[in-house]
Amino acid sequence: MDSKVLIVEDDSAFGILLKKWFSKNGFEALVRSTLDEARKDLLKTDFKLIMTDLRLPDGDGIMLLTWIKEKGISTPVIIMTSYGEVQSAVAAIKLGAFDYMEKPINPDILKSKINEALNHIPVQAPKENASTVNIVYGKNTLSKKMYEHIELVAPTHLSVLIRGESGTGKEYTARMIHDSSDRHHAPFIAVDCGSLSRELAPSELFGHLKGAFTSAIADKKGVFEQAEGGTVFLDEVGNLSYEVQVQLLRAIQERKVRPVGSATDIKVNVRMIVATNENLETAISEGRFREDLYHRLNEFTLIVPPLREREEDIVLFANSFLADANKELERNVEKFSDDSMHILKQYHWPGNLRELRNVIRRTVLFAKGTEITPDLLPEFIQSPAQTEQISLSPIDEREQILKALKITKGNKTKAANLLNIDRKTLYNKMHQYGMDI
């Protein structure tokens, strides 16, 4: 049987159940419970499909996707999650996952997704220096101020620190700076530091030589080399380990990098743009982020305002996302009713543009006519819970996180919404403060 499937699942009972289902449907399934076991199998066996849980004992499915991308493995990946979190699914698909499924798994939906994955022909990735982002320009006063700052800093060689909440479009902003600079002809390479493990980060950023570590089966260029002459964008830069921060500082100061396993340096010429949704000054005071690196990266600060402060822009973005969803889902929804647009404009949007895009995409999927009416919008958009918002302050973050978890009775998604951060950031902060996750 040559239709081999790799299942990465730490719940042994559920793993066995999936294995039996695959066996009945003509597949040979191998079940592994950790990232390390999965990596070893992927290096020696060709699989038709990979199904991995989002949460694993030694990491998560996002880390596995990053590793698969690094190795150039083209096997389609379906992420399984019991959390039903849209942000995690978007991150997974952005990193190359074919699709995601919520537990409990529906057999009919699973069969349909497997057929789609196995018959899918991968689209060739665009060149790194080709702009693929359809940017919509907001008309709000805060938006206009941001665009003025972009025009001001883009022609310079200053490093830029972009601040903004999760989902506000910090990568789009970085792309706008790159496209308006004299480096626009060279690559723009974005890296999500939140998805890099401590072990993978040096290799991803600076490259490695064959044999530098167990899974280094070939030489690899890091993003600094790949972006030569262009721009490196590091999203959630505060998640980098202290050791990698030291290497990053050297790369910026001396304009050279040293691949893992190499004894020689490589000269590089890139512009640095970084982004964060956390307070780096607090991270510095707590010893988690180097102050000298902060000053190197923060030669110019650019603020991306949250969507709730740009009500006029919601109409523009909603219509742009509607057009994108029509094209992607092969639908023909023409417009929003006045009532539905009013609801969209009144909602708080804790997940910002990312959340708006996902809501529009979901709504278009369920629409049967040519107009989006209020009944098609998710219930939480129509009747948002009247709960207090808790703003994280650097002084008593731990207490505020505990308060949010108490209010939501331990529901981390709701707690993250209360704190106005995404759940990945909440998990990082809980880990930082030694709290049970």
Q: What is the mean pLDDT of residues 285-308?
A: 93
Beta strands at 371-372 and 335-336: parallel, antiparallel or unpaired: parallel
Comparing 1 with 193, the larger pLDDT belongs to 193
- pLDDT above 70 for 389: no
Comparing 15 with 212, the larger pLDDT belongs to 15
- pLDDT above 90 for 237: yes
Beta bridge partners of 237: none
pLDDT at 87: 57
DSSP string computed for 126-150: PPTTS----PPPP-SHHHHHHHHHH
CB count within 10 Å of CB 154 equals: 18
C-alpha distance across the termini of the chain, in Å: 40
CATH of domain 385-437: 1.10.10.60
- pLDDT above 60 for 419: yes
Phi, psi at residue 399, to the nearest 5°? Answer: -65, -35
Domain(s) of CATH 1.10.10.60: residues in the chain = 385-437
Beta bridge partners of 266: 257
Q: What is the C-alpha separation between 115 and 94, in angstroms, rounded?
A: 21
308 token code pair? 């709730």
64 token code pair? 């596995």
- pLDDT above 60 for 398: yes
pLDDT in tens, 54-87: 888 877 777 888 888 778 788 899 888 765 555 5
Is residue 84 classed exposed, middle or buried when 0-12, 13-18 and 19+ CB atoms within 10 A define those classes?
Answer: exposed
Comparing 343 with 119, the larger pLDDT belongs to 343
- pLDDT above 80 for 318: yes
Q: What is the C-alpha separation between 172 and 178, in angstroms, rounded?
A: 10
133 token code pair? 């982002």
Is the distance from CB of 241 to CB of 201 less than 8 angstroms? yes
3-state SS, residue 214: coil
Beta bridge partners of 53: 80
Of 10-19, 109-118, 160-169, 269-278, give the lowest mean pLDDT range: 109-118
pLDDT at 91: 63
| Helices and strands (DSSP H and E) totals, the chain | 19, 16
Domain(s) of CATH 3.40.50.300: residues in the chain = 141-303
CATH topology of domain 141-303: Rossmann fold (3.40.50)
> Which CATH architecture best describes the domain 325-381?
Orthogonal Bundle (1.10)
Q: For residue 97, name the pLDDT band (cuts at 50, 70, 90).
A: confident
Could you tell me where the DSSP H helices lie in 120-241? 141-153, 170-179, 201-206, 223-226
CATH entry 3.40.50.2300 includes domain 4-119: yes
Beta strands at 55-56 and 59-60: parallel, antiparallel or unpaired: antiparallel
Residue found by looking up tokens 């070939």 in the block: 218
85 token code pair? 């979190």
Is the distance from CB of 328 to CB of 357 less than 8 angstroms? no
- pLDDT above 90 for 35: no
CB count within 10 Å of CB 76 equals: 21
- pLDDT above 50 for 5: yes
Q: What is the C-alpha separation between 246 and 241, in angstroms, rounded?
A: 9
Angle between helices 412-419 and 397-407 (to 10 degrees): 130
Q: What is the mean pLDDT of residues 96-122?
A: 76
Domain(s) of CATH 1.10.8.60: residues in the chain = 325-381
pLDDT at 170: 93
- pLDDT above 70 for 222: yes
pLDDT at 307: 93
Q: What is the mean pLDDT of residues 273-284?
A: 90
